[in-house]
Amino acid sequence: MAKINFGGVVEDVVTREEFPLEKARQVLADQTIAVIGYGVQGPGQALNMKDNGLNVIVGQRKGKTFDKAVADGWVPGVNLFEIEEALQKGTIICYLLSDAAQIEMWPTVKKYLTAGKSLYFSHGFGITYKEKTGIIPPADVDVFLAAPKGSGTSLRRLFVEGKGLNSSFAIYQDATGKAREKCIAMAIGVGSGYLFETDFYKEVTSDLTGERGTLMGAIQGIFAAQYEVLRENGHSPSEAFNETVEELTQSLMPLVAENGMDWMYANCSTTAQRGALDWWRPFKEATKPVFEKLYHSVKTQAEAARSIDLNSQPDYRVKLEAELTELRESEMWRAGAAVRSLRPERT
């Protein structure tokens, strides 16, 4: 384990230097990795593991998603199966159905978790909220998670570019004495660059907070707030969108990703630096109570209950699609579509 100083706190992380892909291949050489679910993480992880030379099969119910797996090169009856056949063949079961669907399918999955098999997750949800999900694994199987910190779509795209996403990893149950090395090997196999250790509870509570907060929910909230204020004061949609979203994604966030916030500031005018340094604290003060309310909702399991309740309903996809359409059809994101179409792509 490498010891890395994160802002004054030294943490252990696993790097590919100490756990190279070849070692992952050796650890998993006698395993059949069955990826159950081919939504977002399923494709990214399965295709990366296959390209990394691991023995992977996919289990997915027939329909649009099954067809998508075929289009991705998985061969029915060879490495693509209906869910129960994949569960029977798999020695590491990657439970990558939606978190809500994992509940419904658990009685089926549990039947195939025979002694010595492994149950792998990419989220701590199912295990942490076992009173709600009913997901209580048999004592004689290994249970662990590797959670890519990003979309499965990005996991695959970065892998194809020769890059990777970080993952957290956690061991919940070690029946064979080999759970840790299998877990780390899986995380390297799905295309992670470096791994930081957590536990199922910390993974799910941080993840539910992040996606409701800065990563997805809060960012849409501040975009909409600023856009509305600019528009209410007479700025055109293109001016409001460019000043709220386009400049951030195309120019400034890549600078933050490259070398931190001060680097991005330093690459803007002194006028902008003065203003940003004056205003980030008021925004923090205004939003921290909302983040505290969010974390309380996560900690009291209200967020888990809401997600299970709504995403278990037969029409959950229709309802999600309707809300995503509402976002897409908002003036801000329609202006965004026009701005994106005008990007000066260098031919």
Ligand X SMILES: NC(=O)c1ccc[n+]([C@@H]2O[C@H](COP(=O)([O-])OP(=O)(O)OC[C@H]3O[C@@H](n4cnc5c(N)ncnc54)[C@H](O)[C@@H]3O)[C@@H](O)[C@H]2O)c1
Burial 258-279 (b: 16+ CB within 10 A, else e): eeeeeebbeeeeeeeeeeeeee
123 a catalytic residue: yes
The annotation status of 207 as a binding-site residue, yes or no, is yes
Instruction: State in angstroms the smallest separation of the CB of 188 from ligand X.
Output: 16
The annotation status of 247 as a binding-site residue, yes or no, is yes
- Residue 215 in the binding site for ligand XAI (CB under 6 A): yes
- Residue 207 in the binding site for Mg ion (CB under 5 A): yes
- Residue 207 in the binding site for ligand XAI (CB under 6 A): yes
Contacts with ligand X in 52-71 (CB under 6 A)? 61, 65
Phi, psi of 165 (to 5 degrees): -115, 145
Q: Which of 117, 123, 212, 231 is catalytic?
A: 123
Instruction: State in angstroms the smallest separation of the CB of 29 from ligand XAI.
Output: 30
Half-sphere exposure in the Cβ direction for 336 (13 Å, CA): 19
Among 104, 292, 315, 326, binds ligand X (CB under 6 A): 104
Nearer to ligand XAI, 110 or 149 (CB): 149
Name which of ligand X, Mg ion, ligand XAI, none residue 61 binds, using a CB cut-off of 5 to 8 Å depending on partner kind.
ligand X
Contacts with ligand XAI in 126-165 (CB under 6 A)? 150-151
Name which of Mg ion, ligand X, ligand XAI, none residue 104 binds, using a CB cut-off of 5 to 8 Å depending on partner kind.
ligand X
Among 99, 142, 197, 203, binds ligand X (CB under 6 A): 99
Among 31, 48, 55, 122, binds ligand X (CB under 6 A): 122
Contacts with ligand X in 34-53 (CB under 6 A)? 37-42
Nearer to ligand XAI, 92 or 204 (CB): 204
Distances (CA, A) of 219 to 24, 52, 249: 37, 35, 12
How many Å apart are CA 117 and CA 139, to the nearest integer?
A: 11
Among 211, 309, 315, 326, binds ligand XAI (CB under 6 A): 211
Among 47, 93, 96, 165, binds ligand X (CB under 6 A): 96
Q: Which amino acid is at 301?
A: Q
Q: Which amino acid is at 67?
A: D
Two tokens at 179? 């759970």
Name which of ligand XAI, ligand X, Mg ion, none residue 140 binds, using a CB cut-off of 5 to 8 Å depending on partner kind.
none
Distances (CA, A) of 89 to 12, 33, 35, 203: 35, 9, 11, 29
Contacts with ligand X in 143-182 (CB under 6 A)? 147-148, 151-152
Contacts with Mg ion in 281-340 (CB under 5 A)? none
Distances (CA, A) of 253 to 67, 262, 263, 265: 36, 12, 11, 11
Chain residue whose CB lies nearest ligand XAI:
211
Contacts with ligand X in 308-327 (CB under 6 A)? none
Nearer to Mg ion, 211 or 331 (CB): 211
How many Å apart are CA 96 and CA 58, to the nearest integer?
A: 10
Interface positions with ligand X (CB under 6 A):
37-42, 61, 65, 96-99, 101, 104-105, 122-123, 125, 147-148, 151-152
Catalytic residues, which ones?
A: 123
**Residue list, annotated binding site:** 207, 211, 243, 247, 269
**Residue list, annotated binding site for substrate:** 269
Interface positions with ligand XAI (CB under 6 A):
150-151, 207, 211, 215
